[in-house]
């Protein structure tokens, strides 16, 4: 199909453009005139992306400026020592803590997520009852569609000190209730459970699709040779999932500097007692921007986050491309 | 003999999956029963799956008692409907242009779109652009415009449209149709399945969004439902982490009751649960189109 369209493509412009040299010089303007309606159709998204994506990218320079409201991004004066905002950022303990929390928590989420998603996909794949398979898939996918705000409410129902379901059970067995919202040490675990509850069902979909794509003859041959079901999983299913696992993990590692703001803000919010283990770059930037109005520090933290993410995205995409050409984003 | 061993592992697997499924459903059931329970039951016995007394009082208060909740529902509905329609329109236009093989610069445009998927200027410059340059502060547009153009959705549409043979465009042009007419009368009807998928993606995003409201909307009349829910919950959380007990009790008396919070949660997730069968099917379909790159 591609070849047909390309030959059609090559045939069309020839009669129009008489002199090739002339065409290359004015190629764009010519095309603009001939295909003006296509350009107009692209205009809305072109402008929206320019304003909401490209302008903020250029706006990263704000980290080197002394922001004032009237000057905006481009009119504000440069910071006096040019790295002033960064000096200020580095001298604060909060920044170090946020970077550490972001990377460690994301690493934890990626590792646990991998085990749960692959594990659940393998288990669902083993189910022989079709109805049970469909129903459980529907149920486990449901939490994905709920906002983190609502998950925050669910969590509060379970964990709050006075009426929380867990504390009621704890009390029933004669123990003292736990004040979860003042115990930072417990929150990496709580957040991991919440994230698994919300997205495990969603995460299994791609693995299930990969499992469904495995040729049945592998399993048939293996069972003729006397391989048990477990051996078939170990030596056929898991190796066949390996490329998918590697690609998805690499892409997740590419985003390791970006925390899920929605989750942290909805689950932890203003409970500052929990910040030692739950304050991440995104929540720190948000607070500096909206609560304390410290745009210099927020922009410096954001600049570091964006540049490191830039390198990580390129690196992980490069690695993904080396493993499997079709799985890279670009 | 091997059949018997199979059924043992089957039982174990079924048990694990059942437990996980129940865990996925339990919080939903808890808010539903919580919204039906009386305030006294919650305070005395905590949240439980089986309330002793069932009452619809909190839903009544929700409907009649507070304009803020009705307003928030209206705002969320408005943002979702307008945002979804606009988003499907502009993204399908963009995807269509990128899918036209005879269009010389379509690859340059694709790169222009992909870059936005990979690199981000982050929160601060984005916020300044929206507030200083576009003056979106405290407007409803602030909750509609920023996520309108989406690279991922555009590529879903483009990939779908790439399966349409180029000959169709050629013959339509031969018949004297303009590009707009080709898009409107030919492409839009053909791309209904992918537009439904994208439409549901986008609608879910708008309905569940509260981040834009949090960033830009301080005016209470414009607060969307999710943000209102957040405000009610966070008040309690804030009280929990504040140390002054006397202050806490004084403010706590003015807070909406626990069961009203649960009722608000139920009406917030209601439309999603109601539409879930469609959502699920189209989401899986969309994920599969997205996974297969064009």
- Is the per-residue pLDDT at B242 higher than 70? no
User: pLDDT band at residue B6, thresholds of 50, 70 and 90?
Assistant: low
Instruction: Tell if the CB–CB gap between A295 and B124 is shorter than 8 Å.
Output: yes
Res. B293: pLDDT tops 50: no
Q: Please tell me which of A146-150, B119-123, B236-240 the model is most confident about, judged by mean pLDDT.
A: A146-150
Residue B149 scores a pLDDT above 70: yes
For residue A286, the distance in angstroms to the closest alpha carbon of chain B comes to 8
* Cβ–Cβ below 8 Å for B100 and A38: yes
Nearest to A161 by CA among B262, B239, B249: B239
Q: What is the pLDDT of residue B246?
A: 52
Question: What confidence score (pLDDT) does residue B75 get?
Answer: 93
Q: Which residues of A touch B24 (CB under 8 A)?
A: 139-140, 142-143, 197, 201
B273 contacts chain A (CB < 8 A):
yes
Q: Does B186 touch chain A (CB under 8 A)?
A: no
Looking at residue A134, the DSSP 8-state letter turns out to be H
Predicted TM-score (pTM) of this structure:
0.85
Q: Which of A56, A77, A57 is nearest to A67 (CA)?
A: A77
Window 130-169 of B: residues touching A by CB (8 A cutoff) are 130, 132-134, 145-146, 148-149, 151, 154, 165-167
Tell me which residue in B17, B165, B262 faces A123 most closely, judged by beta carbons: B17
* Residue from the list A9, A60, A161 with its beta carbon closest to the beta carbon of B125: A60
> Of the candidates A38, A145, A326, which has its C-beta nearest B293's C-beta?
A326
**Distance (Å) from the alpha carbon of A277 to chain B's nearest alpha carbon:** 16
Residue among B118, B124, B210 whose CB faces A149 most closely: B210
Chain B residues in contact with A23 by the CB 8 A cut-off are: none
Using an 8 Å CB-CB cutoff, list chain B residues near A317. Answer: 118
Q: What is the pLDDT of residue B236?
A: 54
**What residues of A are in contact with residue B158 (Cβ under 8 Å)?**
none
Q: Are B163 and B251 in contact (CB under 8 A)?
A: no
Instruction: Please report the pLDDT score of residue B286 as a whole number.
Output: 73
Select from A47, A254, A53, A99 the least CA-distant residue to B121. Answer: A53
Q: Does position B21 have pLDDT exceeding 80, yes or no?
A: yes
How far does CA A212 lie from the centroid of its chain?
25
The mean of the pLDDT values for chain B is 82
Tokens found for residue B111: 């790169």
Contact: A153, B229; criterion CB under 8 Å: yes
CB-based contact B187:B165 (threshold 8 Å):
no
Local confidence pLDDT in tens for the 330 residues of chain A: 333 333 344 444 444 444 444 445 567 788 777 778 888 999 999 999 999 999 999 888 888 888 877 777 777 888 778 888 888 788 888 888 999 999 999 999 999 999 999 999 999 988 888 899 889 989 999 999 999 999 988 888 888 887 788 888 888 888 888 888 888 899 999 999 999 999 999 899 889 988 988 888 999 999 899 888 888 999 999 999 988 898 888 888 888 998 999 999 988 888 888 889 999 999 999 988 888 878 888 889 889 999 998 899 889 888 888 877 766 666
Is a pLDDT exceeding 90 seen at residue B163?
Answer: no
- Among chain A residues, CA nearest to B122: A302
Cβ distance B46 to A167 less than 8 Å, yes or no, reads yes
Nearest-CA neighbor of A53 among B204, B95, B118, B93? B118
pLDDT at residue A16, rounded to an integer: 43
pLDDT of residue A264: 93
DSSP letter string over A216-284?
HHHHHHHHHTT--HHHHIIIIIHHHHHHHHHHHHHHHHHTTT---HHHHHHHTTT-GGGHHHH--HHHH
With 90 as the cut, is the pLDDT of residue B243 above it?
no
**Which residue on chain A is closest to B87 by alpha carbon?**
A45
The H or E element spanning position B131 is none
Q: What is the mean pLDDT of residues B243-251?
A: 49
Domains, in order of start, for chain B: 16-292 (1.10.3720.10)
Answer yes or no: do A153 and B148 touch at CB < 8 A: no
Q: Which of B248, B293, B89, B277 shows the shortest CA–CA distance to A328?
A: B293
Taking residues B257-262, report their average pLDDT: 78
């Amino acid at each position: 199909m591609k070849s047909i369209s390309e030959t059609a493509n090559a045939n069309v412009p020839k009669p129009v453009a008489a002199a090739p040299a002339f065409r290359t010089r004015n190629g764009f303007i010519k095309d603009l005139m001939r295909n003006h309606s296509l350009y107009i159709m692209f205009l809305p998204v072109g402008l929206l992306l320019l304003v909401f994506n490209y302008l903020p990218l250029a706006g990263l320079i704000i980290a080197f400026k002394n922001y004032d409201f009237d000057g905006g991004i481009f009119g504000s004066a440069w910071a006096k020592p040019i790295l002033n905002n960064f000096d200020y950022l580095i001298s604060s303990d909060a920044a170090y803590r946020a970077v550490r929390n972001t990377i460690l928590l994301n690493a934890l989420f990626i590792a646990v997520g991998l085990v749960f998603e692959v594990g659940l996909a393998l288990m669902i794949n083993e189910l022989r009852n079709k109805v049970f398979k469909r129903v459980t898939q529907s149920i486990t996918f449901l939490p994905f569609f709920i906002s983190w705000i609502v998950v925050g409410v669910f969590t509060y129902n379970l964990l709050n000190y006075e009426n929380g379901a867990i504390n009621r059970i704890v009390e029933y067995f004669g123990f003292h209730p736990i004040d979860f919202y003042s115990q930072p040490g417990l929150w990496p675990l709580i957040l991991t459970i919440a994230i698994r509850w919300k997205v495990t069902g969603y995460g299994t979909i791609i693995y299930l699709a990969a499992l469904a794509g495995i040729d049945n003859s592998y399993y048939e041959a293996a069972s003729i040779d006397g391989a048990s079901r477990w051996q078939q999983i170990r030596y056929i299913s898991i190796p066949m999932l390996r490329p998918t696992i590697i690609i998805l993990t690499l892409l997740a590692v590419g985003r390791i500097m970006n925390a899920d703001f929605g989750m942290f803000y909805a689950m932890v919010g203003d409970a500052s007692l929990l910040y030692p283990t739950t304050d991440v770059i995104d929540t720190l930037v948000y607070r500096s921007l909206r609560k304390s109005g410290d745009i210099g520090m927020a922009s410096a933290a954001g600049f570091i986050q964006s540049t490191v993410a830039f390198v990580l995205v390129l690196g992980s995409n490069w690695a993904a491309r080396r493993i499997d050409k079709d799985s890279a984003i670009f | 003999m091997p059949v018997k061993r199979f059924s043992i592992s089957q039982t174990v697997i079924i048990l694990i999956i059942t437990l996980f499924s129940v865990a996925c459903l339990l919080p939903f059931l808890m808010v539903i029963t919580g919204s039906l329970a009386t305030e006294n039951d919650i305070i005395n016995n905590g949240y439980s799956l089986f309330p002793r007394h069932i009452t619809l009082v909190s839903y009544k208060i929700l409907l009649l008692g507070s304009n803020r909740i009705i307003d928030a529902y209206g705002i969320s509905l408005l943002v979702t409907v307008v945002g979804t329609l606009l988003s499907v329109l502009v993204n399908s236009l963009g995807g269509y242009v990128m899918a036209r093989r005879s269009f010389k610069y379509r690859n340059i445009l694709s790169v222009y779109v992909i870059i936005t998927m990979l690199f981000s200027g982050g929160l601060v410059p984005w916020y300044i652009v929206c507030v200083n340059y576009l003056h979106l502060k405290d407007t409803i547009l602030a909750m509609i415009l920023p996520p309108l153009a989406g690279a991922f959705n555009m590529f879903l549409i483009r990939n779908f449209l790439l399966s349409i043979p180029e000959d169709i465009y050629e013959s339509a042009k031969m018949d004297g149709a303009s590009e707009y007419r080709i898009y409107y009368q030919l492409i839009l009807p053909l791309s209904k399945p992918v537009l439904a998928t994208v439409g549901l993606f986008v609608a879910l995003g708008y309905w569940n969004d509260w981040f834009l409201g949090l960033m830009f909307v301080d005016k209470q009349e414009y607060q969307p439902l999710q943000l209102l829910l957040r405000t009610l919950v966070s008040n309690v959380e804030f009280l929990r982490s504040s140390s002054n007990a006397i202050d806490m009790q004084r403010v706590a008396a003015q807070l909406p009751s626990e069961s009203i919070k649960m009722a608000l949660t139920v009406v917030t997730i209601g439309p999603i649960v109601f539409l879930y069968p469609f959502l699920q099917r189209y989401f899986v379909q969309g994920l599969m189109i997205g996974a297969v790159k064009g």
